[in-house]
Chains A and B, each alone.
Chain A
């Protein structure tokens, strides 16, 4: 069966520090991968999505970046965090065709102080 792992679950980082959140998927090949951000009490904002290794599409220009170094690994990064980067970050995957259920990781609650 397929599983998705996302870590860490919580993170407190000072302004200006770097960020690296990792997401891995098991039990499937060539998944679509997504990073979403959810500000407190708000909706799910699509940040990045990837349909294959090295293929990243950005939806919102900002100081975040994403990489997919391996088929089932998706990394969200920042060189310098801003206060506005605080939120709940969710990784998700779906099969490569995409028009099926997306499965979410447990999420990372990031607080920038």
Chain B
């Protein structure tokens, strides 16, 4: 099955700085790559996603890049704010296995 690895597991940045989280996947049939944000005690919620036919997608301060050849994708958050502090998960959907597999998560802390 699909294997998704996510790094780093924890990340601390100063308010206003950028944060980058990276993920790799193993299944070349994966075609959909969402990113979720989970605040403490709450359910994960989608913040941005990208499909395999696109290399980059941006939504205000958040951007995602995808390198299909290398099988890795990254989340970029610019001008970080304290409310960005949360756990972020990457995921990959395998069209062959029809399942959504998550990375292990990154605890992002934005220091004021």
Task: Write the residues of chain A forming the contact surface with B, with a CB cutoff of 8 angstroms.
Answer: 32, 34, 36, 41-44, 46, 49, 51, 57, 59, 90, 92, 94, 98-102, 104-107
Do A46 and B101 touch (CB < 8 A)? yes
Do B102 and A43 touch (CB < 8 A)? yes
Main SS at interface, chain B:
strand
Do A46 and B105 touch (CB < 8 A)? no
Of B32, B100, B102, which is in contact with the most chain A CB atoms at under 10 Å from its CB?
B100
Do B44 and A100 touch (CB < 8 A)? no
In whole angstroms, how far apart are the Cα atoms of A5 and B46 in the complex?
18
Residues of chain B within 8 A of A102, CB atoms compared? 34, 46, 91, 100
The contact string, 1 if C-beta is below 8 Å from chain A, for chain B 35-46, is 000000011111
A-contacting residues, B76-112, CB 8 Å: 89, 91, 93, 95, 98-105, 107
Distance in Å: Cβ of A40 to nearest Cβ of chain B: 11
Chosen A-B contacts, 15 in total, with CB atoms closer than 8 Å, are: A34-B100, A42-B104, A43-B6, A46-B99, A49-B98, A49-B99, A59-B1, A92-B100, A98-B32, A98-B95, A98-B100, A99-B51, A101-B49, A104-B45, A105-B43
Distance in Å: Cβ of B70 to nearest Cβ of chain A: 20
In whole angstroms, how far apart are the Cα atoms of A42 and B106 in the complex?
9
Q: What 5 A-B pairs are tightest by C-beta distance, nearest first?
A: A43-B104, A99-B32, A104-B43, A44-B102, A43-B105
Q: How many contacts between A and B, using CB within 8 angstroms?
A: 59
Task: Write the residues of chain B forming the contact surface with A, with a CB cutoff of 8 angstroms.
Answer: 1, 6, 31-32, 34, 42-46, 49, 51, 89, 91, 93, 95, 98-105, 107
In whole angstroms, how far apart are the Cα atoms of A32 and B93 in the complex?
12
Residues of chain A within 8 A of B105, CB atoms compared? 42-44
Given contacts A99-B32, A99-B93, A99-B95, is CB(A46)–CB(B100) below 8 Å? Answer: yes
Distance in Å: Cβ of A55 to nearest Cβ of chain B: 10
Do B89 and A90 touch (CB < 8 A)? no
In whole angstroms, how far apart are the Cα atoms of A59 and B2 in the complex?
11
The closest CB in chain B to the CB of A4 belongs to B43
